[in-house]
Amino acid sequence: MGGRTVSESQAPETAQPPRYGLEVLIVLGVSLGMSAIYAVLYFVRQELTVKGGISSTTATIVSGPSTPNYQWLDLLDGLADVLNGLMPAALALLLLSRVPGGPGFGIGLDWRQPRRDLLSGIGFAALIGIPGLALVWTAHELSISAHLAVVDLPDVWYRVPLLVLEAAQNGILEEIVVVGYLLTRLRQMGWSNERALGASAALRGTYHLYQGWGGFFGNLVMGLIFGWWFQRTRRVLPLAIAHSVIDAVSFIGYVYLHTHLDWI
């Protein structure tokens, strides 16, 4: 008997090229891309409808119930918010685990260099955080930013631990999605390093626009520095550490200092 031949209709289909553009739109559409759209709409609304514009408003970054009647339920709400914020990062990592794959999801999210990554993260936190305080003060004095009520949580036993978790969630979400994932996919789509870096930094600045122009430009610069470093090292972990430290210090510092300093 002759060998069995496979008809053309039974032959495997040629692999289709990845549709990274659509994938990027979906990932951003369920995460920080939508945050950017809402921030722009909020900014425009305040400029059009509020006397004095965005500088006459108050922006709250971490909020919770004003009266903690059911602390266990309020804590679970806060933890659910943290988990919700981590899901887009998990989606991005799932996609990256397929392409490019490899150790650390292809973006350096691993513990192969713990000491070096930790020191780099703390160094970046100082590099960004200290000038960032000066920018906050300058923006406040020039009235180009909203007044920041950074934390609006009641004084309960879990306030500081929850703020640390919120800070870690911000660092993980933003650095994985806006730096590790987005810069990787834009490179795979043929974008130049400069064009991709500009897009990533502009997105970071835009979803902070609800804080006013100070929040926009401060985070734009942060995005340029972080993105430039990632493009050269392919390691996102130090950036997530730095971002988490910056936010943790900002949140906890605000809790204890805002009654003494009128510009934070």
Burial class (CB in 10 A: 0-12, 13-18, 19+), 81: middle
Check residue 17 and give its pLDDT: 61
In the block, which residue shows the tokens 């969630």? 169
Sign of the dihedral defined by the CA atoms of residues 77, 177, 239, 58, in that order: negative
Look up residue 163 and give its amino acid.
L
Q: How far apart are the C-alpha atoms of 14 and 203, rounded to whole Å?
A: 36
Report DSSP letters for 118-169, one per residue.
HHHHHHHHHHHHHHHHHHHHHHHHHT-B-EEEEEE--S-TTHHHHHHHHHHH
Tokens of 132: 């960032």
Task: Write out the chain's pLDDT in tens, 264 residues.
Answer: 454 444 444 434 445 567 899 999 999 999 999 999 999 999 999 999 999 899 889 888 998 877 778 899 999 999 999 999 999 999 999 999 999 999 999 999 999 999 999 999 999 999 999 888 887 778 767 777 888 778 988 899 999 999 999 999 999 999 999 999 999 999 999 999 999 999 999 999 999 999 999 899 999 999 999 999 999 999 999 999 999 999 999 999 999 988 776 655
Burial class (CB in 10 A: 0-12, 13-18, 19+), 243: buried
SS3 68: coil
What does the domain layout of the chain look like in residue ranges? 19-257
DSSP E strands in the chain: the ranges are 58-63, 147-152
**How far is CA 117 from its chain centroid?**
19
